[in-house]
């Protein structure tokens, strides 16, 4: 197998050097470049083959969130957001930008290596408890937007409308796949879902893979966002199943 091609994007040379050293000992990972700002990351990804980008948030010229938006929109690479701060706004913005993972810079080397492998294989890198926290925030924002849309304007109120396209995608799921999606949105892991549904974990993985394709999302984090946007899960329901 070809090694996973990784780009390091951080405005601190020492941080890049540290990550490069951690990853260089892995035969299945190759650091193909280092850049000091988000614009350089966008340009590098456009002209080189890159699988995963370790992206700092706060960088000059173009920050990591905006760079992630451009890279993901162009389908250049998968992005893991790196930061020294465990802040909900960074988590939320990273997910909205299309990042596949979020990792603190003080993570253990094994966690960093595991993150690269997981994201390269198409998995989302957010612990269930983090997923619930971030998606609850997303749900609160969505609820506020819907309440604003439903607020009376003059003699008549404007009722918030569900997205027809999302409703069609949701309707394409089997009853079992909808159940799995609800449990994913509650922050349960595949193993926990398997235990709850009394099926093998491999069966859950198959259901997750199928539903991701049907609702046209990249990973389980984006699937949770879809669950809220489509109305399958209502604000405040995340975590009740856990």
Do the Cβ atoms of 72 and 27 come closer than 8 Å?
no
CA atoms of 107 and 125, how far apart (whole Å): 13
Output the six-digit token pair for 124.
């989302």
Do the Cβ atoms of 65 and 95 come closer than 8 Å?
no
Q: What is the pLDDT of residue 159?
A: 43
Dihedral over Cα of 219, 8, 111, 91: its sign: negative
Is the confidence at residue 82, as pLDDT, over 70?
A: yes
Is 233 exposed, middle or buried, given 0-12, 13-18 or 19+ CB atoms closer than 10 A? buried
Q: What is the pLDDT of residue 85?
A: 66
Q: How confident is the model at residue 111 (pLDDT cuts 50, 70, 90)?
A: confident
Q: How confident is the model at residue 179 (pLDDT cuts 50, 70, 90)?
A: very high
As a whole number, the mean pLDDT across the chain is 82
Dihedral over Cα of 192, 215, 185, 92: its sign: positive
pTM listed for this prediction: 0.68
Output the six-digit token pair for 57.
């948030």
Percent of the chain with pLDDT over 90: 43
Name all domains of the chain by residue range, CATH numbers in brackets. 4-120 (3.40.50.2300), 128-229 (3.40.50.2300)
Percent of the chain with pLDDT over 70: 79
Angle, alpha carbons 202-206-212 (nearest 5°): 140
Q: How confident is the model at residue 157 (pLDDT cuts 50, 70, 90)?
A: very low
Most confident of 36-45, 138-147, 152-161, 194-203: 36-45
Do the Cβ atoms of 159 and 43 come closer than 8 Å?
no
Q: What is the pLDDT of residue 63?
A: 94
Q: Higher model confidence: residue 124 or residue 240?
A: 124
């Amino acid at each position: 197998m070809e090694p996973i091609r990784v780009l390091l994007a951080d405005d601190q040379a020492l941080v890049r050097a540290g990550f490069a050293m951690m990853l260089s000992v892995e035969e299945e990972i190759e650091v193909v470049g280092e850049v000091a700002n988000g614009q350089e990351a966008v340009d590098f990804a456009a002209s080189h083959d890159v699988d995963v980008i370790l992206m700092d948030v706060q960088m000059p010229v173009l920050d990591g969130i905006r760079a992630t938006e451009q890279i993901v929109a162009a389908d250049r690479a998968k992005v893991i957001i790196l930061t020294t701060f465990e802040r909900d706004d960074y988590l939320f913005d990273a997910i909205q930008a299309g990042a596949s993972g979020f990792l603190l810079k003080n993570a253990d080397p094994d966690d960093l290596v595991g993150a690269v492998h997981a994201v390269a294989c198409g998995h989302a890198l957010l612990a269930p408890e983090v997923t619930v926290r971030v998606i609850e925030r997303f749900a609160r924002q969505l609820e506020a937007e819907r309440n604003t849309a439903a607020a009376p304007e003059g003699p008549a109120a404007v009722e918030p409308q569900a997205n027809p396209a999302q409703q069609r995608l949701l309707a394409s799921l089997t009853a079992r796949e909808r159940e799995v999606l609800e449990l994913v949105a509650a922050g349960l892991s595949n193993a926990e879902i398997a235990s709850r549904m009394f099926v093998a974990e491999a069966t859950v993985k198959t259901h997750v893979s199928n539903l991701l394709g049907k609702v046209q999302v990249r990973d389980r984090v984006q699937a949770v966002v879809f669950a809220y946007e489509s109305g399958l899960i209502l604000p405040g329901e995340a975590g009740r199943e856990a």
